[in-house]
Amino acid sequence: DAKTTQPPSMDCAEGRAANLPCNHSTISGNEYVYWYRQIHSQGPQYIIHGLKNNETNEMASLIITEDRKSSTLILPHATLRDTAVYYCIVRPLIQGAQKLVFGQGTRLTINP
Amino acid sequence: NAGVTQTPKFRVLKTGQSMTLLCAQDMNHEYMYWYRQDPGMGLRLIHYSVGEGTTAKGEVPDGYNVSRLKKQNFLLGLESAAPSQTSVYFCASAKQGASSGANVLTFGAGSRLTVL
């Protein structure tokens, strides 16, 4: 699987957009980019995923560069409840169990 | 829908004792997983299952056993608990298939285990 690189920590003011970067320069053509987050002491929560087009849902937007070597997760109006560790994961579509590997992620702190 | 339910939420064991963690999902998912998470670390896969009656080893399987007798349940057992198994355990499930949705895991709230 392609390796991902994320900054260990970021801060953002409440109400502003939080932009979390992820580098995946070795991504293959059949690999998707997935984002999860883990709020303190809770189980990880799926946020969004994409292949090459930008994606948006009720939680966030995902911007993938044209060469697919990096992506940005955008939380448009961050709230204190968005404080969490955010994981960027790259995985292919294969038959069988999807053994996601959660690295260290980015610890996002939303400040009042 | 309850999603993924883990029991118990907390447990304290003495070294050498045995216990079983239960994971139950009501989404008719084929795939189920057990992860552990230690302070300051990411999640590590212990065992997983691709369907009823099947299990496989993950990244850190030693000291654990699992069973998937029913599709909706995935049990994680510790036969002889050790202090190194003190951790938070997360169960997850996902639907089957080579679709992008198969990588969308639904996690439980976690089970915090302390081995003294």
As a whole number of angstroms, the distance between CA B43 and CA B25 comes to: 20
Beta strands at B111-115 and B10-13: parallel, antiparallel or unpaired? parallel
- DSSP tag of B81: -
- Those of residues 2-31 in A touching chain B at CB distance below 8 A are none
Q: Is the pLDDT of residue A28 over 90?
A: no
pLDDT for B96-107, tens place per residue? Answer: 765 666 678 999
A40 touches chain B (CB under 8 A): no
pLDDT band at A22 (very low <50, low <70, confident <90, very high): very high
Reduced to 3 states (helix: H, G, I; strand: E, B; else coil), residue B98 is coil
Residue A77: the pLDDT is 94
Instruction: Give residue B101's identity as a one-letter amino acid code.
Output: G
Within 13 Å, how many C-alpha atoms sit on residue B40's CB side?
Answer: 0
Confidence at residue B21, expressed as pLDDT on a 0 to 100 scale: 97
User: Hey, are the CB atoms on A43 and B31 less than 8 Å from each other?
Assistant: no
Task: Compute the mean pLDDT over every residue in chain A, rounded to the nearest whole number.
Answer: 91
What tokens does B60 get?
Answer: 């850190």
At B13, the amino acid letter reads L
* Distance (Å) from the alpha carbon of A23 to chain B's nearest alpha carbon: 18
Q: Is B8 in contact with B2 (CB distance < 8 Å)?
A: no
Query: Taking residues A4-29, what's their average pLDDT?
Result: 95
Q: Is the predicted pLDDT of residue B84 greater than 80, yes or no?
A: yes
Q: Measure B30 CA to nearest chain A CA, in Å.
A: 9
Q: Is the pLDDT of residue B69 over 80?
A: yes
Segment B62-90 mean pLDDT: 96
Chain B contact for A98 (CB, 8 A cutoff):
yes
